[in-house]
Structure 1
Amino acid sequence: MKKEAAKRFEANGTGREEAEYKLLPGGPTNGTQNEPTVSAEPEITILENVYWKELGLLIFVWVAFLAIQITKNYTATCSTAYWVLNLLQIPVSVGVSLYEAINLYKGRRIIASKGDSGGNLQVHQLILYCSCGVLAGIVGGLLGLGGGFILGPLFLELGVPPQVSSATATFAMTFSSSMSVVEYYLLKRFPVPYAAYFVLVATIAAFIGQHVVRKLIIILGRASLIIFILAFTIFVSAISLGGVGISNMIEKIERKEYMGFDDICSYGA
């Protein structure tokens, strides 16, 4: 008790002035107390909110992968140049990942969405995060799924907030798909009106979905709604993929077709 009194005396300066009383969040007011004032945070413009160094790294990776993929289309399949170009993707991705991992390990960068635990990560944590990213890419490529269906649950399991998890998974899908769009456009492999129609529909649907989900979160007061939506989407996609896959497998078994891996060198661009 004496220690507490001493602390209060030091906090109040001379001890004559009473310390300012602050209401507890959500505490009872009995209609006599005024609502606590919330200090307005200074507004930050979009340009000030951009991490230009990190954005530059992403643009470098995007341009490097795009250049490699386009150049690879002009080489013979399974030729020496073909495999060299494929292997060039490893130093680009591994180099950038190591750079970010070292910054996180030394505390020069922090994961803002994880608060105080987002800095000075341990080696085993960094290895786990990188391994999850690689595994998500492999599973997504084998199953033909978008990265969001794999990365979303992984981010949630790693303790990333639902809003950040959803936004990051969406950005990852946009990052990879935009390279394919530019590549196929330069190679003249898809009709522009057809692609523009899907871009328009997808954009409208995304804005409507974002607006509806934001309103629901405000009404319900629970950001966990994003987790339920993500879980429902994954459940529906798993049922759909499983049903279609089983149906195709039964048809191939009935026709006694080969269901193994094809020779990659027999593929012609």
Structure 2
Amino acid sequence: MLSSHPSLASHVFVVTHLVPTVPRQNARIETRWDVATVILASFGLMIAAAGGIGGGGILVPIFILVLRFSPKYAVPLSNITIFGGAITNTFLNMKKRHPLADRPLVDWDLILVMEPLTIGGALVGSFIQKVLPEVVLTLSMVLLLVATADRTFRKGIKAFKKESSVQAKELGGTADAKVSSAAAISKDKSHTTLLGNGTKSYGAANGVEDGKGTFTPTVLAPSSTPAAIAAGDVETPEEAMMIPTTAPVTPVGTSDLSSSEKADALQLLLDEEQHTSLAKVGIMTAVFVVLLIVNLLKGGGAFDSPVGIVCGSFSFWATSVLSFAYLVGVSLFVRRYLVKRWVLKAEVGFEYVEGDVEWTPLNTIRYPCICFFAGFVAGMFGVGGGIVKGPLMLEMGVHPMVSSSTSAVMILFTSFTATTSFVVFGLLTFDYAVPLFFLGLVATAMGQYGTDYLINKFKRPSFIILSIASVVALSAFLMGINGLYDILHPTAGGDEEDGICSAGV
């Protein structure tokens, strides 16, 4: 890091060149590197848009290696870029419908149970990011990404093979109808030898696509429901691949509802799920607004607290602890609601489609706790949380399209929360933040439209899983290159100040 700032006169956005408001390792970076950053970041954002995972693991190394920002400043820039992309993703995904059921594509139950503690983790992670050595941040991130990429690639390849098998069987069935029964039997045996036992795909097994990207949902056959998984009725590992890892727990006791009351309650549930619940959106918006107000009242490295809270003081830490307690309280409130709803669904005979998660008492504890770790990674590494939550939802058995859209909405909340924390700490470089924010908006829109076209054309939701894996793997590679560069070219003196309450600039 250089020891002095550029003059105030240079703190402007010029058409021919961007001049940073904080020192970089090369303050006179040429315009071509700014152009290269725009191109590379756009490419990364378009790939990440397919999986709805933000792309911070790609953006941070680009801002470090190309723009020569220190990680302390590259991470906040990636967050605000991701925030711009999350706005686009949310706007586009809110209009889409679930491929297997008559409901919105974005799963707000999933958001409610996962997001509060994800935001809590992001707040904690933003504190840790201020005090940990950069080499520790980089090494930890690379190890996490390598493990995540490997597992996600395996899942994506398995899903791709499953789709190929189903499509091949569909083509074989069409040909068999045109030949004699003897020839059909012979061809079917040969086909089975090559492809193995048939398995259900998201589109072919659970809905019929009309060629325009619209699915007509059908209910799962009893043999492939989560209850059948628990009973051991699934024939192949592939059929269990996208089913929740925790077997459903049947509520104890019998329902007092009559058959007609059950039918009415079931119809009410189905009617409610056809539309986005404004109450659920309101809960998340309230969390969003409360944390924003608290961050502004606390102040930090960029500006003084309007109510006199001093960083490091008792009031500062008390406010931080109360914010976290508030998030835990919201999470517990939501858990109670979802468990009651799960019991009601079991009583009225609600039938889940493949990829649904049953919010049992165990699942409503396990998954939010894991999401706290995802948020912690988001705040500490500036990756938006989606790079962890995307693969996590796939492990939970969530449909790839639902995972992508829901993750993108959660990133909207997480990235904004982390960004406001970085603003408070004085770490955000505003003359770069503004154009990068709009870059996130535009590049993500391009990626979204491209992904929708490919999925509708080739009928392969596995593209989303492979996109997530590609982003994670590319992130690991770039972070590794950046770490190696730092070892070979250490910065004289490194960051001038560390600590929660050190000024960001």
- Write out aligned runs for 1:32-181 (5 A): 49-73=275-299, 74=305, 75-107=309-341, 115=353, 118-123=357-362, 125-179=363-417
Greater relative contact order (CA < 8 Å, ≥ 6 in sequence): 2
Distance 1:126 1:207 in 2: 33
Amino acid at match of 2:401: Q
For residue 221 of structure 1, report the CA deviation from its aligned partner. Answer: 1.1
Q: Provide structure 2 residue ranges, at least 5 long, that are not aligned to the other structure.
A: 1-168, 179-207, 218-273, 300-304
Secondary structure of the residue aligned to 1:76 is coil
Distance 1:264 1:208, change over 3 A: closer
The aligned counterpart of 1:247 is 485
Per-residue CA shift, 1:55-97, capped at 9, x if unaligned? 1101110011101111110121110110011112122211111
The aligned counterpart of 2:500 is 264
Distance 1:49 1:173 in 2: 21
Distance 1:80 1:268 in 2: 19
Q: Is the 8 A contact 1:104 1:119 kept in 2?
A: no
Q: Is the 8 A contact 2:291 2:323 kept in 1?
A: yes
Distance 1:237 1:89 in 2: 31
Distance 1:154 1:170, change over 3 A: same
Per-residue CA shift, 1:244-269, capped at 9, x if unaligned? 123224444x96x689x94434x147
Distance 1:118 1:169 in 2: 15
Distance 1:214 1:180 in 2: 29
Distance 2:484 2:280 in 1: 43
Q: Which runs of 4+ in 1 moved over 4 A?
A: 25-31, 38-41, 179-185, 193-196
Structure number with bigger Rg: 1
For residue 157 of structure 1, report the CA deviation from its aligned partner. Answer: 1.1
Distance 1:174 1:120, change over 3 A: closer
- Identity rate of aligned residues, in percent? 26
Per-residue CA shift, 1:201-247, capped at 9, x if unaligned? 22221121111111111222110001111101110111111221232
Q: Is the 8 A contact 1:107 1:119 kept in 2?
A: no
Q: Is the 8 A contact 2:387 2:472 kept in 1?
A: yes
The aligned counterpart of 1:15 is none
Give the paired residue count.
224
Q: Is the 8 A contact 2:384 2:414 kept in 1?
A: no
The aligned counterpart of 2:241 is none
Q: Is the 8 A contact 1:137 1:147 kept in 2?
A: yes
Distance 1:56 1:140 in 2: 23
Per-residue CA shift, 1:166-213, capped at 9, x if unaligned? 11222122213334667849x9x765x754533332222112111111
Distance 1:54 1:205 in 2: 29
Distance 1:199 1:138, change over 3 A: closer
Secondary structure of the residue aligned to 2:353 is helix
2:448 is aligned, of 199, 210, 218, to 210
1:223 is aligned, of 433, 440, 461, to 461
Amino acid at match of 2:310: A
For residue 143 of structure 1, report the CA deviation from its aligned partner. Answer: 2.6
